[in-house]
Chain A
Amino acid sequence: MKMATLSRPYEKLGGLESTGGSAAPSPIARTRGWLAAWLPAIPLLLLVATCLIAPVVMLVWQSVTGMGETGLSLDLWFRVLGQHANQDAILTSLVLAAACATVTLVLGAPLAWMISRMLRGKRAFWLGLLNVSANFGGIGLAFAYMATIGTVGMLTLIVQGLGIGFEAPREGSMPALLMAYEYTNVPLFVLLTIPAMSILRDDWWEAAQVSSATRLVFWRRIGVPILSPFLLAGWLLIFTWTLGIYGIAYGLAGQSGATAVHLITLQIGSALQSDVLLGPGRAAILAVVLMLFASTSLVLYRLLLRRATRWL
């Protein structure tokens, strides 16, 4: 907002140049004015238009025209969404993302709070560690998971070595994916929400104590209501990102072959590589479905944050 007012004097530079006081600018002058206003941004806008906007529009278009074969119809949608495997994938993805985001919230919120109240050196150590973990993802993380609690992973061998009958969850199963995802989700969540933790001022806890409030009452009446929009926003972000995770799932699901869980992202990948039935059409529909989920939750995220920052 501040920026807009600052740059207003320049905003109509092109216009001023071209009108020169008269009412009707010539088309050439108008083009020149437009160029003066937009030229430096054109390379970026071109990149964005060709590599982000056009592909997304193209997918939506292909999904409602049956990959350009049927004309405008939802026929492909019905065929793809009617397949059991696809319904299964959509449901599993949503459940996994919601479960992951919830576990992240439960573990991450107290962690973020405690780290935000640490002394400087200790906090730097934890932030460093979280930064490192947040960077660990994709195939590397899938492999690290296998080496840790896979069928012959380190922890599995240790626990079995202690004489406990322990069966590691299959690599491509839900619990395995959840554990592997949390490795990056929790740090991401903490790093995202730590700044919000400073909103809760220490004097408020003192003020609450003076009014003889217990810690529980403080959290229920003051802490949680103030922080909850930020925490929920974090939940939504993790939910959105978890829906779209591909690398970790690809690495882990490969270990379990056909018994691995069905996820939207995995289905898109495999539909591209080998699908005799619907091929790219199936991938397009699933991609648009994923797009709808992601954009809905991003809109909710924006609304939540607008609400949250109103009190700052």
Chain B
Amino acid sequence: MAVEAGSSAVTKSRAAASVRSSDRKSVGRVGRAVFFGFALFYFCVPMAAVLIYSFATRWTANVLPDGYTLDWWRATLADPRIQSAFFTSISLASLTAILDIAVVVPAAYWSRVRNARIRPVVEVAAAVPFALPYVVIAFGLMQFSGVVAPQFQGTFPLLVAGHSAIAFPFVYWAVDGAMAAAGIERLTETAEACGASPYQALMRVVLPNISAGLVTGGLLSFAASFGEFAMAQIIGRSLDTVPLWSAEMIRSYTDTAGSYNRLAVVTLLTFAVLFVLSALVVYWNRGQTVRLLPGAGASDQGGRQ
């Protein structure tokens, strides 16, 4: 009897609790929906505004533009200066990615199979562009090159070197992670047991096994260089990259020659390039776990996975 009464009291209180918690749950659900709705709005509206701007004839007074046109797209794509800016940016970014892969892969490989003392040196170096603003590095590079090699100041090669220096950590982290995942120490031992030279082992055994890391690192450094503005402005002022062109347009104050509409087109194009790159990175790394915050002992995390 006593037991029964006790159990009914428990059911009652449990029922009350479940009513209360379902109330709270629905409040939570509404709150969550509002929160995510706001986030969606916040992330999408600026892109929509740029998109509409690129098709607008005149847009200063009404909620929507006065009219729509394809002229800006046509004019922008045909503009020789914009074409050459894209050409400069794409070659700059490609060379940066190639140079980074060429210098990072041997170093990362050697630090894993021969000389572990390379690792701490490279990791400290990788923390520099991660922590210091590009403005600071760019200004330092300008001062340094002014003393050591003034003939290189403001030139394309100097900007390639500068971009490679700030983008190399992306390549290093991607390549090193891929090397850890592929277990290249063992692969190398096996290759060498079969009589391969270190060079043969690297080219024919290691590289095919870390291709995902190479692609990821290359794409990330390409993206970093393609969208980079501070260093391009400070050490490559005579050049005409896409971000430098955009900066000139946004500072032109008046919208007389449709410069803002053309800027909208270029912004969308730049954005499309970066979007495709990041989609490719995601595609190449599908199914892999993301590591914790960068610099959090990336090698330990990589080893554990």
Contacts and interface: CB of A to CB of B under 8 A. Distances in A.
Interface of A: 1-4, 6-8, 10-11, 13, 36-41, 43-45, 47-48, 50-56, 58-59, 62, 110-111, 114, 128-133, 135-148, 152-155, 157-158, 161, 183, 187, 191-196, 230, 233-234, 237, 240, 243-247, 250-251, 254-255, 265, 268-269, 272, 280, 283-284, 287, 290-291, 294-295, 297-298, 301-302, 305-306, 308-309
Contact of A246 (B115, B229, B246): B229
A175 to B, nearest CB: 15
A241 to B, nearest CB: 8
A65 B230 CA distance: 26
A268 B264 contact: no
B203 interface: no
A291 B129 contact: no
A92 to B, nearest CB: 15
B223 interface: yes
17 contacts: A3-B112, A7-B115, A10-B114, A41-B107, A41-B111, A47-B168, A48-B122, A51-B161, A58-B144, A59-B139, A135-B223, A157-B61, A230-B292, A254-B251, A268-B136, A272-B142, A305-B297
Nearest to A265: B135
A265 B134 CA distance: 10
B178 interface: no
A272 B142 CA distance: 10
B103 A246 contact: no
B290 interface: yes
A290 B113 contact: no
Contacts of A138: 227, 229, 243, 246
Q: Which 8 A-B pairs have the closest CB atoms?
A: A244-B133, A55-B140, A51-B165, A40-B106, A41-B107, A144-B46, A247-B229, A139-B246
Interface string B157-169: 0000110111010
A41 B230 contact: no
Contacts of A291: 132, 136
Contacts of B42: 183
Given A4-B116, A51-B164, A302-B295, A147 B141 contact: no
A244 B243 CA distance: 17
Contact of A47 (B127, B140, B165, B303): B165
Contacts of B303: 1-3
Q: Is the interface of A mostly helix, strand, loop or mixed?
A: helix
Contact of B53 (A147, A192, A194): A147
B168 A196 contact: no
Nearest to A251: B250
Interface string B19-47: 00000000000001001100110110111
A269 B133 contact: no
A204 to B, nearest CB: 18
Given A183-B42, A265-B133, A251 B127 contact: no
Contact of A53 (B128, B148, B299): B128
Residue among A8, A56, A62, A111 having the largest count of chain B Cβ atoms under 10 Å: A56
Interface in B213-271: 223, 227, 229-230, 233-234, 243, 246-247, 250-251, 253, 260, 263-264, 267, 270-271
Given A11-B116, A58-B147, A309-B297, A244 B135 contact: yes
A259 B286 CA distance: 47
Given A138-B229, A143-B260, A192 B137 contact: no
B139 A7 contact: no
B122 to A, nearest CB: 7
Contacts of A193: 293
